[in-house]
Structure 1
Amino acid sequence: MLPVDCAYTTILDLTQPLDPQYDRETVPLLAAAGRILAAPVISPLDFPHWDNSAMDGYAVRYADVQTATPDRPVQLTVVMEIPAGSHPQTPLQAGQAARIFTGAMLPPGADTIVIQEHTQRQGDTVTIQQAPYPQAFVRHQGSFHRAGAPLLPAGMQLQAAAIAVLAAAQCPQVTVYRRPRVAILSTGDELVAPDRPLQPGQLVDSNQYALATLVQQTGANPLPLGSVPDRPDTLRAAIAQAISQADVVLSSGGVSVGDYDYVAQILTELGGTIAINAVAIKPGKPLTVATFPTPASARSTLYFGLPGNPVSALVTYWRFVQPALKKLAGLANTWEPTWVWATAHQDLPSDQRRESYLWGGLTPDTQGYRFALVAGGHNSGNLISLAQANALAIVPVGTPIAAGEPVRVMLINA
Structure 2
Amino acid sequence: MLPVDQAESIILNLVQPLDTQRDVEKVDLLSASGRILATPVTSKLDFPHWDNSAMDGYAVKFTDVKNCSPENPIPLAIIEEIPAGYQPQSHIQTGQTARIFTGAVMPLGADTVVMQEVTQRKDNNVLILESPKNQQEFVRYRGSFYTAGTPLLSPGIILGASEIAVLAALQCPKITVYRRPRVGILSTGNELVTPDQPLQPGQLVDSNQYALAVAVAQTGAEIIRLGIVPDEREILKKTIAGAITTTDFLLSTGGVSVGDYDYIEDILTELGAEIHIHSVAVKPGKPLTVAKFSDTQCVYFGLPGNPVSALVSFWRFVQPALKKLAGVQEAAWRPEFVTARSLQDLHSNGKRETYLWGQLNLGSNGYEFQLAGGSHNSGNLINLAGSTGLAVVPLNETLIAIGESVKVLKIS
User: Common fold, TM-score beyond 0.5?
Assistant: yes
Determine helix, strand or coil for the equivalent of 1:381: coil
- Partner Cα distance (1:9, 1:335) in 2: 13
Determine helix, strand or coil for the equivalent of 1:277: strand
Question: Which deviates the most, 286-295 or 206-215?
Answer: 286-295
Cα distance, 1:235 vs structure 2:
1.2
Q: Give a deviation string over 1:234-286, Cα, whole Å, max 9, x none.
A: 11111111111101000111111222211111111111111111111100010
Matched residue, 1:397: 395
Determine helix, strand or coil for the equivalent of 2:262: coil
Q: Does 1:381 align with 2:379?
A: yes
Q: Which runs of 5+ in 1 are unaligned?
A: none
Matched residue, 1:239: 240
- Partner Cα distance (1:281, 1:78) in 2: 75
Contact 2:4–2:281 under 8 Å retained in 1? yes
Matched residue, 1:341: 339
Matched residue, 1:324: 321
Matched residue, 2:125: 125
Matched residue, 1:35: 35
- Partner Cα distance (2:70, 2:359) in 1: 58
- Percent identity over paired residues: 62
After superposition, the Cα gap between the structure-2 partners of 1:124 and 1:294, relative to the gap in structure 1 and judged at 3 Å, is farther
Cα distance, 1:52 vs structure 2:
0.6
Cα distance, 1:204 vs structure 2:
1.2
Matched residue, 1:306: 303
Matched residue, 1:175: 176
Contact 2:390–2:409 under 8 Å retained in 1? yes
Matches within 5 A, 1:186-225: 186-225=187-226
Q: Give a deviation string over 1:370-405, Cα, whole Å, max 9, x none.
A: 212112211101111111322111111122100111
- Partner Cα distance (2:54, 2:154) in 1: 28
Aligned letter for 1:379?
Answer: N
Q: Give a deviation string over 1:85-144, Cα, whole Å, max 9, x none.
A: 111132111111111111111011111111222222222111122221111111110111
Matched residue, 1:256: 257
Matched residue, 2:410: 411
Matched residue, 2:111: 111
- Partner Cα distance (2:100, 2:269) in 1: 73
Q: Give a deviation string over 1:199-253, Cα, whole Å, max 9, x none.
A: 2111111111111111111110110101111222111111111111101000111
RMSD: 1.3
Matched residue, 1:71: 71
Question: What is the count of residue pairs matched by the alignment?
Answer: 409
Contact 2:199–2:205 under 8 Å retained in 1? yes
Structure-2-length-normalised TM-score: 0.96
Determine helix, strand or coil for the equivalent of 2:186: strand
Contact 2:25–2:177 under 8 Å retained in 1? yes
Q: Give a deviation string over 1:175-210, Cα, whole Å, max 9, x none.
A: 111100000111111111222222211111111111
Q: Give a deviation string over 1:25-76, Cα, whole Å, max 9, x none.
A: 1112111110011111221110000001111111111121222233322211
Determine helix, strand or coil for the equivalent of 2:346: coil
Aligned letter for 2:294?
Answer: P
Matched residue, 2:7: 7
- Partner Cα distance (2:335, 2:96) in 1: 58
Matched residue, 1:102: 102
Matched residue, 1:372: 370
Q: Which runs of 5+ in 2 are unaligned?
A: none
